[in-house]
Structures are given as C-alpha cells and as structure tokens.
Amino acid sequence: MGKFNYSEYRVPRSMSLFVKKVWTLDNLDSSSVVMDRFALPNGCFNIAVIRGNGLKITHRETIIHLSPGTYFCGQMTESLGIEIHPKSRATMLQLFPWTPAYFTDQGMHNYTDHFYRTDDVLPGLPEGIDLSSGELCRSMADRWGSLAKDVRPAMDLQRSTSLIMEASGDISIRVVATMLGCSSRYIQKLFKKGLGLTPKKFADIIRLRSIVDKIAAGGNGKSDFTGIAISNRFYDQAHFTNAFQAMFKTTPKRFDRKAYFLSYIK
C-alpha cells in the first residue's frame, strides 16, 4: 500500500518571476484518507491541479469539495483544513503575490478566501500531463510567456510586496510608499485590486508566517514562540497570542507543526 507524500519543487527560470514553487499533496497510491492536516496563509496565490477523488477543504466553518480539475485559490486570511481522499493528488503552483496583476485586470478582492476554476481568472493550463514532472511548468511557460503585461501597477505591486516580504512584514506602508515614490493611498488601492488584501493585512500575514517558519526551520520547542514574538516587535505575549489565534485558529502553545504543510523551499 502506498503512502501519502508531501513534496516541493523549484521552478525553471522561465517561470521564476511568476511561480515561487510547486508543492504536491500526493495520495494517489494510497487507499487511506489523509485527515487533520492544515495549510496556513502565506501571502501567495495558488493554482491547484487536482486528480483522482479530490480534496475536502474546511475554511471559515465551510466545507468545500474540490473535485478533479484546476482551481485558482485566492489569498487566504485564515488557516484551512485539508482532507485528501484516497487515490488523489493535488499539484499546487504557488504564485507570487504580484502574479495575477501581470495577467488579468480583475480585482483580486473578489477571490479572497475563495476557490474558483482557473479559467475564470487566469490563462488556462494544459490537461492530462504528468503532474509529477517539470512538464507542468514548461507547459505553463509556453502558454503564459507571451501573455504577461508590462504594466506599472503590476510592477509597483511586485516592488511593494517584495519590500514587505524582505522585511518579514516589519515595515510601515508609509515607508513602502516613500521607497516607491508614491502615496500611501495609491498603495492601498494597488493592494485592494491586485492582491485582495489591505497592505496591513498582507504585512500581518507575512509577519506571523515568518515567525512560524522560523520555528519550523529551527526545530525549536514551543516555549521559543514568546521570545521570537518579542523580537518581532509585538507589544507583549497577549498581543502575539491574539494575533496568532485569529489567523491560525490555534494558540502558540497548542501549535503542532507536524499537522501543517510548512514550506522548506523559500
């Protein structure tokens, strides 16, 4: 009997501006359901290519069944539960925060915390290829390469979100606006349309996710959360705990990293 496998892959240079990585939830050779696993917000969009019997997502007390197909996943603002049915596989293309702005004029605020068929949002992806190989990214590069738009809002969104990510969320929007040579109001409008989040919400997600990733990468115990929180400029332990629980639906003390799909490719 096969076992469930979680894996991550780097993308070819041809797609590295738009796709951060590929991550796979592979339960294709197993007859057992994978339950009680979770994914956390990380400031990225995803395209999910699902095969087999599909997935069940629990998000904001709503159950979403994702049957075989290709889905666009908007920005997530809270953790979500994932149940992977037997004989199923989900191959996820993790898109940078600025990627949709290069390919569509649609406002991303319409897709926040939702799943839609990809063709309704972004250029379609090929069907029926070996999802465990690099063919998916190569085919995507062939289809998307000539469609990217060289437009200022997309470039400004790339610069501003990059600044926030490089600072692990610890940067004010006023500073970002100054570095871009624009107004804070322009940044607000840019984020609402291109990202579907306010700049503050995006920074909060990056900040909290950075803390979680540091804990996971360092292999430290749960007691280290408080010290890391203080070093990341939360007012106090209560402030950190409240922010953590609001986004991740658990407390730092109860957080079990083994239950979460956490990145090891940065």
pLDDT tens-digit readout, 16-50: 899 999 999 999 999 999 999 999 999 999 999 99
168 Rama class: left (phi>0) / alpha (psi -120 to 50) / beta: left
The average confidence (pLDDT) of the chain is 88
- Token pair in block for residue 156: 């400004």
186 Rama class: left (phi>0) / alpha (psi -120 to 50) / beta: alpha
Please give the residue that has the higher pLDDT: either 141 or 173: 173
H/E stretch holding 165 reads helix 152-166
Mean pLDDT of 239-243: 87
Decide if domain 5-144 falls under CATH 1.10.3470.
no
- Token pair in block for residue 93: 């293309």
pLDDT tens-digit readout, 97-151: 999 999 999 999 999 999 999 888 888 776 655 555 567 777 777 778 778 888 9
- Structural domain boundaries of the chain? 5-144
Contact status, residue 194 vs residue 108, Cβ threshold 8 Å: yes
Within the chain, strands assigned E span 5-9, 19-27, 34-39, 45-52, 55-59, 62-66, 69-73, 80-84, 88-95, 115-117
pLDDT of residue 226: 67
